[in-house]
Chain A
């Protein structure tokens, strides 16, 4: 074979290698380093082995935070996905209404996370916030600072407000790609509104829905900024999600070892879930 071997080509990969090393590998290895050692300051480290991992996996605090994460994701997905589909179905397909709706839908997505948090933090306050004050004036005993249910309700409504648009936009994109002939054929076939949704719109939206589901699941599972700004994890630990707990542990308590162990476990959970979803996604592609 007349193949030219030139190992200098490997130098081409070097910039990427360096970039990945500094942005991902080295920070990750630092965390790994912390997770197997103990320190009492002064840059003195003692070998701790798997102690921190064992401790984290045996702590109620970790499992409760994980449970809250899963519950939160489940609730917002079960609201945002159907609501998003419903809104997308009712959006206009042509005319001046289209750009108006699209811009309105895109607005919440353009607001930075911490600003969203601040908006709702102020909005929900019972002393000066429009929502909190109104609810109180109407006689509801609403106070997200003291009441666990109210705190969760506020976070969920906030997330729905912030992210349903994403589902709407994805579904809308799926819907407008359906050729007019399908709807005409459905009319000819005498299909009911429900049958049109069930046999035409839903199958055609399946792929975008899967993407919407994945994005919303991953995003809500990593949620940090908004609950941090609105409730700070309270009242008590009731809205302390994994990410918030992690920051508390690492920066608040300066427990670097356990925090490092926890972030590695968190990382592995996300990796596992991503892999599962990736597999689900590609296998459904094969069927199509």
Chain B
């Protein structure tokens, strides 16, 4: 269990990166608190796995330092860093029994056999493979194999951190939920520092205290699920978190007035926007009110998703999504208003705050 500091980490897979674009991972400078549960969220290829492998030591960063509890571990091997990591696809030692698979990381570290037995039995029960302990791992199904992988990650209780690289991809939805709750429970019980990579926002938001959103090789926002929802600091976060994502409308800012096509909205503050920047207004579909007053929209389609309706409409020539309650009515001449507190202004994709 440790506090992990990433100091100005950058990574490029090719030799001699020339421009910023050559870096798969752009500068990351961040502290992971001891005992924190973090989710690294982002689309495929955004550098999540790269960052994870740099923390575990499978990859040497091109630049920067990694500190565990203030101690520089950049040059240390994975084994010396004492990290557990679970991979996306099951890795099992298929000539060994399920029990031996789980005991493997402990025996490699010369843990006394009595402790090995105690830990392995505990983990086997947790992943629900009690009856399989003495069977060879070869004949198991994919999700049983992944449970073994997961179990091997959890079996050591002295690790500095446990890293999960989309570990539940191959597990079926029902089991996913159970395993995730067990991970969460384990986290509360032992206080491991956990970093969980995923591209599934539900998984990220339910697992983590803090979600780190990555996009195109850089961290675009670190925050609690509520912060990501209410104040996305980058248009990507707005789009990626939430279903449907945030509405982004091209806007012209003049003082505290925002012009959207022919309509204008007055803000209670004046965003400081550099001239020439591409400015947008972001509003989540949950905060768009559909009624008889406000700005004109044209409704194209209504999707009923059970407890809510999603209205797909056109506003000032741009598509806009509106979330309507189940019994919400669509008036004959539909108009919208935006909840003023939920409006975010973006300049060149980055949020311009009240304070800026």
Query: Which A residues have a C-beta under 8 Å from some C-beta of B?
Result: 179, 181-182, 184-185, 187-192, 195, 199-200, 203, 288
Which residues of A have CB within 8 Å of B95?
Answer: 199, 203
Which A residues are CB-close (under 8 A) to B79?
A: 187, 190
CB distance from B156 to the nearest CB of A (A): 9
Report the nearest A residue to B93, measured CB to CB.
A199
Tell me whether A185 and B108 are in contact in the complex, defined as CB-CB below 8 angstroms, given that A199-B96, A203-B95 are known contacts.
Answer: no
A184 & B58 in contact (Cβ 8 Å cutoff) = yes
Interface size bracket, B side: 20 to 34
Residue of B with least CB distance to A184: B58
Chain A residues with Cβ below 8 Å from B87 are 181, 184-185
Number of A-B pairs whose CB atoms are under 8 Å? 52
A182 to B93 CA separation, bound complex (whole angstroms) = 9
Given A188-B78, A190-B79: A203 in contact with B108 (beta carbons within 8 A):
no
Q: A181-B87, A199-B95 are in contact. Are A189 and B152 (CB under 8 A)?
A: yes
Look across to chain B and name the residue whose beta carbon is closest to the beta carbon of A195. Answer: B108
Could you pull out 27 A-B pairs where Cβ atoms are within 8 angstroms? A179-B89, A181-B89, A181-B91, A184-B53, A184-B85, A185-B85, A185-B149, A187-B58, A187-B78, A187-B79, A188-B83, A188-B85, A188-B153, A189-B104, A189-B105, A189-B152, A190-B79, A190-B105, A190-B108, A190-B109, A192-B108, A195-B104, A195-B108, A199-B95, A199-B96, A199-B104, A200-B93
Nearest to A191 among chain B residues (CB) is B108
A185 near B78: Cβ-Cβ < 8 Å: no
Instruction: Count chain A CB atoms within 10 A of each CB in B58, B77, B83 and give the residue with the most.
Output: B58
Q: A188-B153, A199-B96, A200-B93 are in contact. List 20 more A-B contacts (CB 8 A).
A: A181-B87, A184-B58, A184-B91, A185-B85, A185-B87, A185-B91, A185-B149, A185-B152, A187-B58, A187-B78, A187-B79, A188-B56, A188-B83, A188-B84, A188-B105, A190-B79, A191-B104, A191-B108, A192-B108, A203-B93
Interface-centre pick from B84, B88, B91, B109 (highest chain A CB count, 10 A):
B91
Instruction: Identify the B interface with A (CB < 8 A).
Output: 53, 56-58, 77-79, 83-85, 87-89, 91, 93-96, 104-105, 108-109, 138, 149, 152-153
Residues of B within 8 A of A190 (CB): 79, 105, 108-109
Contacts of B83 in A (CB 8 A): 188
Q: How far is the CB of B286 from chain A (nearest CB, A)?
A: 39
A199 to chain B, nearest CB (A): 4
| A288 cross-chain contacts in B, Cβ below 8 A | 138
Min distance, Cβ B86 to any Cβ of chain A, angstroms: 9
CA distance A185 to B109 in the complex (A): 15
Chain A residues near B153: list those with CB within 8 A.
Answer: 188
User: In the complex, which residue of chain B has the Cβ closest to the Cβ of A182?
Assistant: B91
Which residue of chain B has its CB nearest to the CB of A188? B85
3 A-B pairs with least C-beta separation? A185-B91, A190-B108, A189-B105
Chain A: which residue is nearest B80 at the CB level?
A190
Please give the distance in Å from B9's CB to the nearest CB on chain A: 19
Which residue on chain B has the smallest CB distance to residue A179?
Answer: B89
For B77, give the chain A residue with the smallest CB separation. A187
CB distance from B71 to the nearest CB of A (A): 19
Cα of A240 to Cα of B89 in the assembled complex, Å: 55
Give the distance to chain A from B75, nearest Cβ to Cβ, in Å.
15
CA distance A195 to B100 in the complex (A): 13
Find chain A residues with CB under 8 A from B89 CB.
Answer: 179, 181
* Nearest CB of chain B from residue A85's CB, rounded to whole Å: 16
With a cutoff of 8 Å between Cβ atoms, the chain B residues found around residue A189 in the complex are 104-105, 108, 152
Q: Residues of B contacting A199 with CB < 8 Å?
A: 93, 95-96, 104
Q: Give the chain B neighbours of A179 by CB distance below 8 A.
A: 89, 91
How many whole Å from A255's CB to the nearest CB in chain B? Answer: 52
Residue of A nearest to B89 (CB): A181
Closest residue of B by beta carbon distance from A192: B108
- For B59, the closest partner residue in chain A by CB is A184
CB distance from A192 to the nearest CB of B (A): 7
B104 to chain A minimum Cβ distance, whole angstroms, is 5
Q: What B residues does A181 contact at CB under 8 A?
A: 87-89, 91
Contacts of A185 in B (CB 8 A): 85, 87, 91, 149, 152
CB distance from A22 to the nearest CB of B (A): 47
Docked-complex contact A203 and B94, CB < 8 angstroms: yes
Within the complex, what minimum Cβ distance (angstroms) separates A95 from chain B?
12
Q: How far is the CB of A189 from chain B (nearest CB, A)?
A: 4
Instruction: Please give the distance in Å from A186's CB to the nearest CB on chain B.
Output: 8
* A residues less than 8 Å from B109 (CB atoms): 190
Query: Smallest distance from the beta carbon of B138 to chain A beta carbons, Å?
Result: 7
- Measured CA separation A179–B91 after assembly (Å): 9
Q: How far is the CB of B316 from chain A (nearest CB, A)?
A: 49
Q: Which of chain A's residues have a CB closer than 8 A to the CB of B78?
A: 187-188
Q: Within the assembled complex, what's the spacing in Å between the Cα atoms of A238 and B187?
A: 72
- A288, closest chain B residue (CB): B138
Query: Complex: how many Å from CA A185 to CA B153?
Result: 9
CA distance A181 to B96 in the complex (A): 18
The minimal Cβ–Cβ distance linking B146 to chain A, given in whole angstroms, is 12
Closest chain-B Cβ to A86's Cβ sits at a distance in Å of: 21
Determine the chain A residues whose CB is within 8 A of the CB of B93 once the complex forms.
199-200, 203
**What is the chain B residue whose CB lies nearest that of A200?**
B93
Q: Give B108 Cβ to nearest chain A Cβ, in Å.
A: 4
**Chain A residues near B58 (CB, 8 Å)?**
184, 187-188
| C-alpha spacing A288/B153, complex, angstroms | 26
Which residue of A179, A189, A190 has the most chain B CB atoms within 10 A of its CB atom? A189
Query: Which residues of A sit under 8 angstroms from B56, Cβ to Cβ?
Result: 188
